[in-house]
Chains A and B, each alone.
Chain A
Amino acid sequence: MNENKAAQIRQLETDTEQLMEKIRQEKDIKKKQKLIAEREKKQRKLTAVRNNRVLSRETKRDLVAYSFIAPNFIGFAVFTLVPIVFAFALAFMKWDGSNEITFVGIDNFTRLADDTFFLAAFRNTIIYVIGTVPLTMVASLALAIVLNQKIKARGFFRTVAFFPYVASLVAITAVWSMIFHPSKGPVNYLLLKVFGVPQENLPKWFSGSLVLFTLILFSVWKYMGYYMVIYLAGLQGISAELYEAGSLDGANTWQKFKYITWPQLRSTTFFVVVMLTINCFKVYDIAVMLAGGGDGKLSTSATVLVYYIYQNAFNYWDLGYSSAIAMVLFLMVLIITLIQFRYEKKINS
């Protein structure tokens, strides 16, 4: 046993020396680096053998690190990574979940162009995102700035602004449907009595062209509290000295906002916009609850991509087509997020 070990050590020693020689002779930088790495590896092994260790210190350290990553990664792989890859493959297949999978090439994608309901869902989702993202951002920033001042009952107002975010969606959509009820709601009552809108022209908030507007309004109201909290955290990170310096130089409120607050909040705004965009593309529950009526089905005026994905997957069991729509949604979100990251990088440099 010991003899064996001694032989191994000797072998390794000669190996490292030979490598050292090679390194001295080698002219090419890249090859040299490679050789150096190889020599280091041998040396590590040598120390390991000398000290009677099975694994070198480095391997051990790496293993410990991986073992900490593993639990999360396994979960991610099983429940996210594998399904995503599978869905990507399914987009080129036809499958109903029971019978055999058949390959159909890009048929699922060519079908999209002529699908009235897909196009309606696509259009509605885009309008919803374009409407919701900037409005929510502006509203939450404004709220954060106001509630960052030293005003009376600040905690109370912060809670009020945050409340819609924590309240149950089902409950608050029920309240909204009563407030915006087309014939009995207080909003339409005001329009009728105070603004003199004739009864037959009263807006129907949950159907036709207005429904997207209602959805946007609802989302802004519900989510502004959450992003307000993020902005508040950002605002509190801005050093008071900056404002003091601004005051000394005679900056007015607007100038302070423009030259201090806004630039300082840039990374917060970036985070808010990215999260908002992603979340808005995934809209489903709000649309179904507000515009779904009794049976939770959405007509072309209110349908959104995620709803259509669900419908195709679990009503028609056309999993391939459903995956194709999911891919469109995925790519759209991916591209927009990449553009946002690129833009952020450009501004930073």
Chain B
Amino acid sequence: MKRKLLSILLTTSMLAAVLSGCGSGSGGSESAPEPAAEAESAPAEAEEETAQAPEAEAEETASGEAITLKWAIWDKDITPYWQAIKDTYEASHENVTIEMTDLGSTDYMTVLATELSGSGSEFDVVTIKDVPGYATLVSKNTLEPLDSYIADAGIDLAQYGGVDKQVTVDGSLYELPFRNDFWVVFYNKDIFDNAGVAYPTNDMTFEEYDALAKQVTDTTYGAQVYGTHYHTWRSAVQLFGVLDGQHSILDGQYDFFTPYYEMVLGQEDEQVCRNYADLSAEGLHYSAAFSGGDVAMLNMGSWFISTMIANIQSGEYDASLCGNWGMVKYPHAEGVEAGSTLGTITGLAVTSVSDQKDAAFEFVKWVSGEEGAKVMAETGNFPALMNDEIADIISGLEGFPTDAESKEALKVSNLYLEVPYAENVSAINDILDTYHKSIMNREISIEEGIAAMNEEVGKLGQ
């Protein structure tokens, strides 16, 4: 009898061990690790509750109560402005603590959309990295419309130069831009000097640009110089077409891309630029191409300015290869004003699940306003709110090209977003990407590619 009891005891204890072992392994991983997590987050939650509970009254009394805002960002360690914004904001708003969560940059918008799906998200403020992702979040009802807040705060949207209109959804705005990058042409002065060719200017037509690229190209084996370089993004080639202000990627008819594809593929044939199939096979980054010293011109976004300055100073890029650089405005089509260019905005939005929306909007307003703009400019980045003072801060940075042309290049006359808002912009974006790839890889001809774009985007509207 005793033995029996013992064996039963043993069996039950063994079973318990097996069951609990599995619990933490696969079976109940949702429940098992909770005790530990709870123990850790308990103080945080308590803190939050104390922060939230008096929030209702705090709305009237404004400041005073401690507030913690959770903010979604990416690449915290290599992007200087997140921390700068947090520090400056906390310094002037003593009761507010900003808690940043780094979701990584590669698939930031996908991860964010997943985080905000269903319940359980804790973010108050989220950074909006691109417009397709923005469209997704808006259609998922995860963002708070900001119109009433904007009206209450008396923000003049005209200060954003019209980009806000390109992300307005059915008359409502769900984000405020705080960063605004625009495309320019970077060039390597040494290459032009060596070739004895005049520098590019702030007022070039595409014909002039094409001719200049060909002029500075050297196809001698071993001493090759590429007149220009196009990164594998479709924006780098296709979007020359939207600069006339009459076309957009939402048109559904893309025949206006044709001349630019012809120009770039023609340049590839003459080895004026590296060929797309090679770039895509080796995954060459545009910064490596330009800093290698064999690329004369590169069309790229203004974010590359701070990269160039920082990397030349740190010695990451060889200054003897690319240290003598400058930049000019984007080339333009015949009859179009110089200074028309592509832009990409980064915005901040308030989540619809946040229970401290006023405090969250206060932060959004601050970052996208003049004070936030200054912080951005001081870290070498372009705020959405551009004025002469801000432009001076950036062109005054150490390492910024000293010539007048480069400073002048910062003045944008018309800014067209790479991807303006539309409900199905995600799908349009992917269709254009796909056929851009096929055309550039020469799997299909330009006509076939454009016809396929027209057809596939046309199907979306049905």
Contact = CB atoms under 8 A, between A and B. Distances in A.
Nearest to B142: A98
A41 to B, nearest CB: 25
A297 B434 contact: yes
Interface of B: 11, 15, 18-19, 21-23, 25-28, 30, 110, 113-114, 116-118, 132, 136, 139-142, 232-233, 275, 277-283, 285, 426-427, 430, 433-435, 437-438, 441-443, 452, 455-456, 459
Given A78-B27, A183-B278, A184-B282, 20 more contacts: A67-B19, A71-B22, A71-B27, A96-B140, A97-B113, A116-B456, A116-B459, A177-B282, A178-B282, A180-B281, A182-B277, A183-B277, A204-B441, A206-B280, A209-B443, A295-B233, A298-B434, A301-B438, A314-B110, A317-B140
B3 to A, nearest CB: 17
Given A206-B281, A293-B437, A74 B275 contact: no
A137 B22 CA distance: 36
Contact of B442 (A74, A79, A208, A316): A208
A104 to B, nearest CB: 15
Interface string A32-74: 0000000000000000000000000000000010011011101
The A contact surface, by secondary structure, is: loop
Contact of B19 (A70, A96, A117, A208): A70
A298 B434 CA distance: 7
Nearest to B231: A294
A123 interface: no
Nearest to B28: A74
Question: 4 closest pairs, A vs B, by CB?
Answer: A71-B22, A293-B280, A75-B26, A207-B441
Interface in A290-304: 293-295, 297-301
B9 to A, nearest CB: 14
Contacts of B280: 206-207, 293-294
B28 A207 contact: no
B140 A98 contact: yes
Contacts of A277: none
Give the interface size bracket for A toward B: 35 or more
Contacts of B283: 177, 293-294
A111 B198 CA distance: 56
A183 B142 CA distance: 47
A207 B440 CA distance: 10
B232 to A, nearest CB: 5
Given A64-B11, A182-B277, A300 B438 contact: yes
10 contacts: A74-B27, A97-B118, A98-B142, A180-B281, A182-B278, A206-B277, A208-B443, A297-B434, A315-B110, A315-B430
Nearest to A310: B110
A261 to B, nearest CB: 40
Nearest to A301: B443
A3 interface: no
A61 to B, nearest CB: 12
Contacts of A28: none
A181 interface: yes
B281 A299 contact: no
A21 interface: no
